[in-house]
Structure 1
Amino acid sequence: MSAGIGLWWLVSVLGVLGLPGPVEVVQRGAELIADGILGGDVAASLSRVLTGFLLGSAVAIPVGFLMGWYPVCRALFEPYVQFFRTIPPLALIPLAIVILGIEETPKIFVIFMASFLSCVIATFQGVIGVEKTLINAARVLGAPSFVVFARVVIPASSPFILVGMRIGLGASWATVVAAELIAAQQGLGFRMQQAQIFYDLPTIFVGVISIGILGLLMDRILLFIESKLTGWQERR
């Protein structure tokens, strides 16, 4: 961390690309905090990301389980999932505006799509990747299908699900900046876009660093949850 900040300071001192230095960015961040601007932007972006991410994950996990466990559901859902997976969520913004308007719904929708598509594929791969030996052993011991699913398939696929959620979380933060193009009045993405108009590099840096810190903290929370749910998994 210190080396990175030192390199950043050196680059700013040398005047490369006209980048602001760490001190200037910290001062600008303090100003935005004192004015209550940064807190409002963080709250707005965090609310959108959490809503879209949690909704996307909540829908993706059962859909992924259905696709992986039932061949009929796989045949029904997989073509649509693969079709939309090739379309960047940002490409859906014009469609979202036309159909859903310019309030919060289209912003959350594109974040939802970003997290859903990442998580559903990971869940699906986790289910179909469960060792058949484990499933057959449970059935030989007399376990009915719902017990096999609950006691074998779900625990065995949980590492894949959590990896998919981590990827979906990153995609959600990557999408929120563009999503806040949709008539937003608050948000880190909105603030950065406004700063771009006036070539306000310190404010842009504050936004970038804020997103990085929030994303890192949320990722660490998911890692903690993963460690609790997959403690049985052998690790290198």
Structure 2
Amino acid sequence: MSLVEADTRAGAAVAAGAQPRRRPPVRKLILNLISVVIGIGLWWGFSLAGHDIPAPPAVLTRAGELIADGTLAADVLASLTRVLAGFLLGVALAVPVGFLMGWYAPVRALVEPWIQFFRTIPPLAIIPLAIVLMGIEETPKIFVIFLASFLSCVIATLQGVVGVDRTLINAARVLGANDRIIFGRVVIPASSPFILVGMRVGLGSSWATLVAAELIAAQQGLGYRMQSAQLYYDLPTIFVGLITIGVLGLGMDRILLLAEKRLTSWQETR
């Protein structure tokens, strides 16, 4: 073997060894399944130990009944519509507001005190005012969810824009880029990881606010069904609602996480 061939093979081996090792997806899936089994086992154990919680078979039976009569599907559709409407409206407003606050100091000085002011007020405390001003239809329910999503996402977007490396911006200016090009080619890509994290936090806040939002004269919805079950001490129905909200929220979060991985593939991660 010649010296050139040896050096080439050695360099290829070093390059291959330098690549980060990724955990096999099968191993991750197995660990996820083990975690779910352990969680269900602990739940079942608490039930058998005499704690006042329904066992998994009782919850599964109740879920089958709610699915059979169409109640669960109607509740899921109602709640999912409210969450998606409030969440998407919140993100649609939070992203441009966050960009304006991060890029223009006067806008930040004018708007940030109000953002911080409303962040200290729980969205649930807005419910009485929302009922008085907006009535008892769908508008106040969506507004409360929108507010929770907006406040979570706008801060993340602001932090993403403010945290852009000034060296990148200065280098773009030296190369002759104007503000529009810098904003589109530097600021938006650099702040996109923060925006996506803010969207995930906003999505969690939207689901967390759902149950309280459906206190407003709702006739359908997972939160409404859980509150009605509370009056009759119907614990299996409450557990069905909790698990359904958790599964839906987890599924939507995984979708955002997948989008984050695809849109920020350039970012170094562990």
TM-score (norm 2): 0.87
Which of 44, 47, 58 is 1:12 aligned to? 47
Q: How does 1:196-211 map to 2 (within 5 A)?
A: 196-211=230-245
Q: Looking at both structures, which has the greater relative contact order when contacts are Cα pairs under 8 Å and sequence separation is at least 6?
A: 1
Give yes or no for the alignment of 1:155 onto 2:183: no
Give the structure 1 partner of residue 116 of structure 2.
82
Give the structure 2 partner of residue 134 of structure 1.
168
Which of 198, 205, 209 is 1:175 aligned to? 209
Q: Could you tell me how far apart the structure 1 residues matched to 2:260 and 2:42 are? A: 34
Which of 141, 151, 159 is 1:117 aligned to? 151
Which of 42, 52, 58 is 2:92 aligned to? 58
Deviation at 1:14, TM superposition (A): 1.4
Deviation at 1:76, TM superposition (A): 1.3
Secondary structure of the structure 2 residue equivalent to 1:105: helix
Q: Could you tell me how far apart the structure 1 residues matched to 2:113 and 2:228 are? A: 39
How many positions carry a matched residue from both structures?
Answer: 235
Percent of aligned pairs with the same amino acid? 73
1:191-222 Cα shifts (integer Å, max 9, x gaps): 00000000000000000000000000000000
Q: Could you tell me how far apart the structure 2 residues matched to 1:172 and 1:6 are? A: 29
Q: Could you tell me how far apart the structure 2 residues matched to 1:171 and 1:119 are? A: 10
AA aligned to 2:95 is: I
Give the structure 1 partner of residue 60 of structure 2.
26
1:64-87 Cα shifts (integer Å, max 9, x gaps): 000000111111111111110110
Q: Could you tell me how far apart the structure 1 residues matched to 2:104 and 2:75 are? A: 43
Q: Could you tell me how far apart the structure 2 residues matched to 1:15 and 1:190 are? A: 28
Q: Could you tell me how far apart the structure 1 residues matched to 2:88 and 2:217 are? A: 23
Deviation at 1:10, TM superposition (A): 1.1
Which of 191, 195, 199 is 2:225 aligned to? 191
Q: Could you tell me how far apart the structure 1 residues matched to 2:90 and 2:38 are? A: 37
Ranges in structure 1 where 5+ consecutive residues have no aligned partner = none
Give yes or no for the alignment of 1:3 onto 2:41: no
AA aligned to 2:48 is: V
Give the structure 2 partner of residue 37 of structure 1.
71
Q: Which runs of 4+ in 1 moved over 2 A?
A: none
Q: Could you tell me how far apart the structure 2 residues matched to 1:83 and 1:5 are? A: 41
Ranges in structure 2 where 5+ consecutive residues have no aligned partner = 1-35
1:37-84 Cα shifts (integer Å, max 9, x gaps): 000000000000000000000000000000000111111111111110
TM-score (norm 1): 0.99
RMSD: 0.5
